[in-house]
Amino acid sequence: MIGLECHVQLDTYSKLFCSCPTKPETEEPNSACCEICLGMPGSKPVLNKKALDYALKVALALNCKINEKFFFSRKTYFYPDMSKNFQITQYEIPIGSQGFIELSSGKKICIRRVHLEEDPAALVHESGLLSSSYCLVNYNRSGIPLIEIVTEPDMASPQEAREFLDQLTMILSYLDVFDFENGTLKADCNLSVVGNERAEIKNVTGKRNVEKALEFEAKRQLELVKQGKQIVRETRGFDEKNLSTKSLRKKETEEDYGYIFEGDLVAFELTKKKIDAIRKSLPELHSDKAKRLAKEFGISEYDAKVISGSKFLSDLFEEFAKASSAKTANFFVSGVFVSIAHYENKEPEEMAPRLNVSQLKELLALFEQNRINEKALKEAAIAHITKGKNPLDFIKENCLFKEASSGEVEKIVEKVLSANPKAVADLKAGNEKSLNFLVGLAMRESKGKAEPREIKRIIEEKTK
Amino acid sequence: MKTQSVSEFAAQAKTGNIDLEENTHKILDKILKAENCNFFNSVSKDLALHQARELKAKIKAGKQVGRLFGVPVSVKDCICVKGVESRAGSKILEGYFPTFDATVVLKAKAEGAIIIGKTSQDEFGFGTFSTNTGLGFKAPRNPLDSERSCGGSSGGSAGITAFADFTHVSIAESTGGSIACPASFCGVAGFTPTYGLVSRFGLIDYANSLDKIGSMGKTVADSALLLETISGHDEKDSTSLNEKISFSPEASAKGMKIGVIKEFFGEGINPDVSKIAWASIKKLEKSGAKIREISLPLNAKYAIPAYYLIAMAESSTNLAKYCGMRYGAHENLSGSFNEYFSKVRSNNFGEEAKRRILLGTFARMSGFRDAYYLRAMKARTKLINEFKLAFKEFDVLVNPTMPVIAPKFFEIEKLSPIEQYAMDLCTVPSNIAGLPHISINAGFSQKMPVGIMLTAGHLKEQILFKVASVLEESQ
Amino acid sequence: MAKAKIDKELLLRVAANARLNLAEPEIKKFLPQMQAILDAFSMLDEIPDLKEEPSFQPIQLKNVFREDKAEKCLSQEQALSNTKHSKRGYFLGPKVVE
Ligand SMILES: [Mg+2]
Ligand SMILES: [Zn+2]
C-alpha cells in the first residue's frame, strides 16, 4: 500500500507570511530574506491572501470538503532548516478534507487533507550529507507557500502513485497555481506490504524520483518479506544517483511536535459565498475537457486525453482548431508537438516560449491545403522549435512543397519504369512484389528525398 | 521638587528653552551613576545623543513636531530597538542587534522620543520580582528600599520611572501582570492596554496570545500620553486591532459603577494592603461613584493555572528558535544538530526559563496536550465570559494590584516557584482576558507603596483614565 | 485530567524534546517542583462543564491578510549580521546526521 504526502510550491509573488520575493533576482544565498522568514526575535507573520485563495482552489479541484473555519498551528521540531524551530502549518482543521482524484482506471485515490504551510530553508552539505561536519543554510526558500496534499494509503503500485502525481500536476496546471519552471513537487512516500510495518521515504523531489523510490522500496520490502525478515518502521531517504533508499532514522525516536495554535495569526472564517465564488472561478479540468474535446472535435478519446493532459496543450489545440481542421490541429498537437517535447525531455508547457503560434498556423494551413506532406510538416516544426526557424522559410529553402517535388518524382519514376520493362510487365500482371521493387529503385534514385507513398501513387497511375 | 509632566516638557523643548543635548547628557549621567540599581540592561548613549542632536536641528529648522518631543523614553529589554542590543534579559540573546525597530519604538521616535536604553526584566518576562534574571544579569533594586524588589517582570521600567527626578516615561510589557506589579511596588502609574491595541511587532515574545505592550509614567497623564502615542493599528501584527485611543483629560468618577472584587480582599491579601485599597475605594465613592462588591469565583480560582499553562506552552515554542545559529549566543559549532542546539540552550537559558520550557513542552506533548494546554485554552473562554458578564453591570472593577508590598530579596529567595506564581493572583485575571487595566499608587505601608488596580472592559481605556485621575488627585 | 506522575524518565523525555541537557542537580530540583506545579494546575479539572471553544486570543479576531506583493527585503549582509557562523553568504548550521 502506498500513501503520499505531497508538497507543492504555490506560484505567488511573495512568501506565505512576509513580503520577501519568491523569485529573487539573484541566486545569492540569503538574499531574499527578512526578519520574519529568518525567524528573528520580534518579527510576526501575516498571511498572504493569494496563497490562501490558491489553496482553496486546489482543495476544491481535488473534490475536497472545505472547512469554513480553520486556523494555523505551530509544529515544533528542531532542525537547521527551520528558522523558528517550529513550522507554521495546519493541524486540527485543514483547509480541505475528504477529497479524491480519479485514475484512468476509474479507481479513486482518497485525499485525507489539503493544507497550507511554510517551506523550510534549503540545506547544502558541502562534502555530502553523511560526511559534512556542518551544513550551509540558505533561507531564501524559507517561508515560500506550500500546499500539502495527504492521500489515504490507496495506491497499490508505484505506477498508480505515478499516475496519481500525473493527474495532480495536470490539475495544478489547469488551476495555474504552480510554477512549472521554478517550482518543485516533493513527496514523503509511505509504503508498506500488507500486514507489515511501513517505511516512509522523506522528501523525494519530482514525479520520476517518486516512482523510482517506490519501485526500489517495494522491491526491497518484498524481498525482506520473502526471506521472512521483519520490516522495521523507519524513515528513509532517497539517493537520486543510485536510485535507492537508505535508512535515516528508526521511528521510535519520533519527534513530538507539540502542536499549539499560532497566536500571532488570527482565526479564519470563510463565507459560503466566498467558497462558491472560488468554485465557480475554477477552470474546466482535464477529465471534463477530454470528454468535451472528443465530442466537440470528433477526435479519438485517446488523443483527447493526451491533449487535455495539460492546460497548455489543450489551449494550443483549440487555438489551432480555430484556424484549421480539428484533424490537422490534433495531428500537430498530439502527434508532432508532444513527441518533440518528449524527445527534448521537457514538459509541453516548458516549450511554450519557443512557439510562434501565428507562424505555426501558416504551416498548418500549408498542410491542410495539401501543399506539403507530413514529413515536411514535422521537419519544419522541429526546425522551428529547436532552432527558432520560421517554418515557412524552412519549407521554401528546402523545396518541400509538393508541387515542386512532384514533377521531379514523376521524372524519376518515368526513368525507373523505362529502365525496367520486365518488372513493369510483372506488375501489370498483378505481382505486388515488383511494385515494392520499383518503389525501392525510385527511392534510391531520389536519394531518399521522395516519399514512398507518393512514388507508389505515381507508379500505379503510370501502369494502369 | 515636582518633575515636569511629559506634555509640559515637550512643549518647553519645542520652544528651544531646554537644551536637549545637555538634558540628555545629564540624564545619561544620572543613569550611569545609579548603575548599581540595575534598572538598565543596556544604555543607548550614542543613539540618545544622536537623537537629541537631530531634534535640536529640527528646532532650528522650525520643524519640531511630536507629543514626546525630546522626552527621554526607556524601553523594556524585550522590545526591539534597531541597532541596540535587545536581549529580553537573556544571555541567549547576547549580541542580538535587531535590524529593525519595534512598531512602538518607531511611533515613539516619530513623536520625538529619545530612546535612552533597555530596562531590566525577568528573563523573557518569566517572573514577578525581576529576580529570575538571565545568566549574567542583575535584578533591579527598588529605589525606595534597595533591599527590596522592583517587582516584575518590567522591574527596570518601574524602577527608573520611580527613581527619575527628570521627565521620563517607559515602554513596558505585560503578559500576566508585568506592568501592574512593578508599578505597584515602585509607586508609579502602569497602564496595560486592551490586547491588540498596541502593536506587538518587534516584541520578543513571551506568550503571543497574552503579551501586551503598555506604558509607565510618574503620573496617570504621563503614562496615558505615552500609551496614546504608541497605540493604533499595525498591518505588521495580525492581532493588532483597528482602533486608536485618544484620551480626553478628564478626572471624574461620578455615576461610575465600580465593582470591588471580593475574592481579592480576603485570604492571601495582606490586611494592610486591603485597608489601603479600601480607603481609595471610599474616595471614589465620595466622588460620586457607586460601589458594590462583586464575586469572580472562576477567575479567582482558575485564572492562575489557566494562565500559566497557556503562557508556558506558548513560550516554550517561542523559545525554540534560540539555538545559536542566526543571532544571539553561539557556541563552537560541533556535534550533530541535536547536540549543538542542546548545548547552546543548556548553557544560556536561566533556571526559570528552563523550568517554563519544560512545563510548557510537557503541557503540549501528545498524551498530555488535551488535559493541560487545550483545557486551559477552553478555560480562558470561560474566564473571559465571566468578566463580560461583570461588565454588563459595572464600568470598572477594582482590586489591590499585589497582595503584598515589595518583598525583600531574601524573602523572595524562600518562595517556591508555585508560591511565586500565586503572587499574580490579582493581576492575572485581567491579563488572561486581555482587559485594559491601570495600577496607581494608593498609599504606603511600611514606607513602601501600595498599588490599586482598575480594570475596564475591552477598549474602555478612557474610563480607566478618568477614574484613575480622580484617585491620583485625591492623593 | 488524570494527574500526571512526573518521574525522571518523563522529565528527561520532555527535556530531550525541548533540547535541554539537564545536569543531575537540575533534575533533583525540577522533579518535585514540576510535580507540585502540575498538581496545582490540575485544579482546572474541577471546572464544571467546560464545553467552551478555546480562545485563540482574548479578543476574537478573524481574517487578517496581506496582499501578495513582493517588497524589498534584507541584504545578504544584513541577514547575516547577527550570526557568528556563516560562510560564503550561507548561515552555518550543525550537521544534520547523528
Ligand atoms: Mg508538512
Ligand atoms: Zn521574509
Higher-pLDDT residue of B201, A327? B201
- Cα torsion angle, A301, A302, A306, A307, sign: negative
Give the residue numbers spanning the domain of B389: 1-475
3-state per-residue secondary structure call for C49-81: CCCCCCCCCCCCCECCEECCCCCCCECHHHHCC
Query: What's the sign of the alpha-carbon dihedral A131, A134, A139, A144?
Result: positive
Chain-centroid distance of CA A307 in Å reads 13
Q: How many CB atoms lie within 10 A of CB B41?
A: 26
Average pLDDT over residues B262-290: 96
Q: Which amino acid is at B84?
A: V
Burial pattern B161-192, b for ≥16 Cβ within 10 A else e, equals bbbbebbbbbbbbbbbbbbbbbbbbbbbbbbb
- Number of structural domains in chain B: 1
Q: Say which of B333, B372, B418 has its CB closest to residue C94.
A: B333
Query: How far is ligand 2, taken at its centre, from the CA of residue C75, in Å?
Result: 11
Residue B433: strand, helix, or coil: coil
User: What CA–CA distance (Å, rounded) separates A214 from B53?
Assistant: 68
Our CA-based measurement puts residue B400 at a distance from the nearest CA of chain C, in whole angstroms, of: 23
- Ligand lying nearest the CA atom of residue A186: 1
A350 close to A180: Cβ distance less than 8 angstroms: yes
* Ligand 1 center to C2 CA (angstroms): 32
Instruction: List the end-to-end C-alpha distance of chain C, in Å, as a whole number.
Output: 37
Query: What pLDDT does residue A406 have?
Result: 64
d(CA C19, CA A85): 11
Q: Are the C-beta atoms of A316 and A385 separated by less than 8 Å?
A: no
Residues of A in contact with B337 (CB under 8 A): 78-80
User: Measured between CB atoms, which of B239, B371, B377 is closest to C61?
Assistant: B239
Residue B304, Cβ neighbours under 10 Å: how many? 23
By Cβ distance, the residue of B238, B333, B373 closest to A44 is B238
pLDDT in tens, A37-76: 999 999 999 999 999 999 999 999 999 999 999 999 999 9
Do A35 and B205 make contact, defined as CB atoms within 8 angstroms?
Answer: no
Closest CA to B87 of B413, B350, B312, B309: B350
Say yes or no: A138 contacts chain C, CB-CB below 8 A. yes
A372: confidence class by pLDDT, cuts 50, 70, 90: confident
Distance from C-alpha of B204 to C-alpha of B337, rounded to nearest angstrom? 24
Contact (CB, 8 A) for C19 and B348: no
Cα C7 to its chain centre, rounded Å, is: 21
Give the ranges where A264-420 is alpha helix by DSSP (H): 272-281, 286-297, 301-308, 311-323, 326-330, 338-343, 357-368, 374-387, 391-397, 402-419
Catalytic residue flag (residue B178): yes
How far, CA to CA in Å, does C79 sit from each of A134, B82, B91, B326, C71? 19, 14, 21, 9, 15
Render pLDDT for B364-396 as a digit per residue (tens, 0 to 9): 999 999 999 999 999 999 999 999 999 999 999
pLDDT digits (tens, 9 = 90+) for A154-200: 999 999 999 999 999 989 988 989 887 777 899 999 999 988 889 99
Asked whether the predicted pLDDT for residue C2 surpasses 70, the reply is no
In this complex, is the C-beta atom of A114 within 8 Å of any C-beta atom belonging to chain C?
no
**Chain C contacts of A258, Cβ < 8 Å?**
17
Nearest Cα residue to B405 out of B446, B464, B457, B345: B446
Res B63 pLDDT > 70? yes
Question: Which runs of consecutive H residues, i.e. helices, occur in A180-310?
Answer: 207-226, 272-281, 286-297, 301-308
- Inter-chain CB proximity B334 and A42 less than 8 Å: no
What are the chain B neighbours of C78 within 8 Å (beta carbons)?
Answer: 99
Q: What is the mean pLDDT of residues B10-17?
A: 94
A293 to each of A303, A330, A339, C67, how far by Cα in Å?
9, 10, 20, 37
Looking at residues B35-51, what average pLDDT do you find? 97
pTM of the model: 0.89
Q: Tell me the CA–centroid distance for residue A20 and ligand 2, in Å.
A: 4
The minimal CB distance from A264 to the residues B208, B313, B361 is found for B208
Q: Are B224 and B465 in contact (CB under 8 A)?
A: yes
Q: What is the arithmetic mean of pLDDT over C62-71?
A: 97
* Minimal Cβ distance to B96: which of A41, A43, A85: A41
**Contact call for B361 and A261, based on CB within 8 A:** no
From CA A81, how far away is CA A121, in angstroms rounded? 5
* Interface membership of C59 toward A (CB under 8 Å): no
Domain membership of residue C77 (yes or no) is no
State which residues form the domain around C37. 8-43
Task: Choose the catalytic residue: B178, B199, B215, B316.
Answer: B178
- The whole-angstrom distance between residue C14's C-alpha and the CA centroid of its chain comes to 11
Residue A454 reports pLDDT greater than 80: no
* Chain B residue closest in CA terms to C95: B336
Report chain B residues whose CB lies below 8 A from the CB of A84: 320-321
CATH number at residue B168: 3.90.1300.10
> What is residue B74's three-state secondary structure?
strand
pLDDT tens-digit profile of A308-326?
887 888 889 988 988 888 8
B434: nearest Cα among B132, B188, B155, B200: B200
Looking up cell 510550491 gives A9
Tens digit of each residue's pLDDT (9 = 90 or more) over A405-442: 667 788 888 888 888 888 888 888 888 888 888 888 88
Q: A residues 99-158 near B, CB within 8 Å? A: 133-134, 137
C-alpha A105, offset from chain centre:
19
Taking 70 as the threshold, does the pLDDT of residue B1 lie above it?
no
Per-residue pLDDT averaged across C86-98, rounded?
92
Contacts of C54 in chain B (CB under 8 A): 374, 377-378, 380-381
On chain C, the residues whose CB falls within 8 A of the CB of B435 are: 58
| Assigned domain for C95 exists | no
What the block records as the C-alpha cell of B399 is 482590586
Q: Is the pLDDT of residue B221 over 60?
A: yes
From A298's Cα to the closest Cα of chain C, the distance in A is: 42
- Specify whether the CB–CB gap between B348 and B329 falls below 8 A: yes
CA distance, residue B162 to nearest chain C CA (Å): 31
- Classify the complex by whether its ipTM is higher than 0.95, answering yes or no: yes
- The mean pLDDT of chain A is 89
Euclidean distance between CA atoms A319 and A361, whole angstroms: 9
Residue B327 has pLDDT above 60, yes or no: yes
Neighbors of chain B with 3 or more C-beta pairs under 8 Å = A, C
A246-252: long-range pairs with CB below 8 Å, 24+: A248/A202, A249/C98
Integer Cα distance of B328 and B93 in angstroms: 4
The shortest C-alpha distance from C6 to chain A (Å) reads 17
Kindly state whether residue C19 falls inside one of the protein's structural domains: yes
Give the 3-state secondary structure of residue B214.
strand
Neighbours of chain C (3+ CB pairs under 8 A): A, B
Closest-CA distance of chain C to residue B77, Å: 17
Nearest Cα of chain B lies from the Cα of C9 at a distance, in angstroms, of: 13
How far is B303 from B455, CA to CA, in rounded Å?
A: 15
Residue B282 C-alpha from the chain's centroid: 28
Structural domains of chain A, ranges and CATH numbers in brackets? 2-276 (no CATH), 293-397 (no CATH), 406-462 (1.10.10.410)
Non-local CB neighbours of A75 within 8 Å, separated by 6+ positions: A86, A87, A88, A89, A91, A257, A259
DSSP structure string for B107-147: HHHHTT-EEEEEE--SGGG--SSS-SPPTT--PPEETTEEE
Q: Count other Cβ atoms within 10 Å, centred on residue B398.
A: 27
pLDDT in tens, A108-131: 999 999 999 999 999 998 887 777
The model's confidence at residue B97, banded by pLDDT at 50, 70 and 90, is very high
pLDDT band at residue A252 using 50, 70 and 90 as cut-offs: low
Residue B109 pLDDT > 60:
yes
Long-range CB contacts (< 8 A, 24+ apart) of A289-297? Answer: A289/A314, A293/A317, A297/A321, A297/A326, A297/A329, A297/A330
Q: Give the nearest partner residue to C4 out of B298, B333, B368, using CB atoms.
A: B368
Measured between beta carbons, the chain C residues lying within 8 angstroms of B306 are 44
Tell me the C-alpha to C-alpha distance, in Å, between residue B105 and each of B109, B113, B170, B172.
6, 9, 11, 11
Phi/psi for C95 (5° steps) reads -65, 150
> For residue C93, what is the nearest residue in chain B, using CA coordinates?
B325
Percent residues over pLDDT 70 in chain A:
98
C24 is a domain residue: yes
Residue pairs between chains A and B whose CB atoms are closer than 8 Å: 109
Length of chain B: 475
Tally of CA atoms within 13 A in the half-sphere of B381 that contains its CB = 13
Domain count, chain C: 1
Residues in chain B with CB shorter than 8 Å from the CB of A137 are 325
A44 touches chain B (CB under 8 A): yes
Q: What residue has cell string 501592574?
A: B180
CA–CA min distance A84, chain B (Å): 4
Distance, in Å, from the CA atom of A435 to the CA atom of B154, rounded to the nearest integer, reads 103
pLDDT given at position A290: 84
- Mean pLDDT, to the nearest integer, of B433-455? 98
Residue A247 has pLDDT above 90, yes or no: no
Amino acid in position B312 = M
- Does residue B390 contact residue B397 with C-beta atoms inside 8 Å? yes
Burial class (CB in 10 A: 0-12, 13-18, 19+), B153: buried
Nearest by CB to residue A33, choosing from C54, C67, C79, is C79
A260/B338 CB distance under 8 A: no
Q: Inform me whether the pLDDT recorded for A346 exceeds 90.
A: no
The most distant pair of C-alpha atoms in chain C lies apart, rounded to whole Å, by: 60
Closest partner CB to B364 (pick from A39, A40, A258): A258
Q: In chain C, which among 6-25 make CB contacts under 8 A with chain A?
A: 17, 19
- CA B70 from centre of chain: 23
Q: Dump pLDDT digits (tens) for B157-175.
A: 999 999 999 999 999 999 9
- Average pLDDT value over all residues in chain B: 97
* Rounded distance from Cα A77 to ligand 1 centre (Å): 12
Cα–Cα dist B273/A376, whole Å:
101
Residue of B308, B344, B355, B358 to mutate for C, most C C-beta atoms under 10 A: B358
Of C52, C33, A89, C14, nearest to B306 by C-alpha is C52
Per the CB < 8 Å rule, is C55 touching B209? yes
Q: C35-54: per-residue pLDDT in tens? A: 999 999 999 999 988 999 99
Q: What is the pLDDT of residue C54?
A: 95
Mutate to test the interface with C, among A38, A142, A259 (most CBs of C within 10 A): A38
Q: How close, in Å, is residue B237 to chain A by CA atoms? A: 6
The CA dihedral of A338, A174, A362, A300, to the nearest 10 degrees, is 60
Asked if the Cβ–Cβ distance from C58 to B308 is below 8 Å, we say no
Comparing CA positions, the residue from A464, A382, A377, A379 lying closest to residue A428 is A464
CA-based nearest residue to A29, from B323, C92, B71, B51: C92
**Nearest residue on chain A to C71, alpha-carbon basis:** A19
Q: Which ligand is nearest to the CA of A39?
A: 2
Closest CA to B439 of B459, B453, B458, B419: B453
- CA nearest to B459, candidates B222, B213, B243, B202: B243
| pLDDT of B33 above 80 | yes
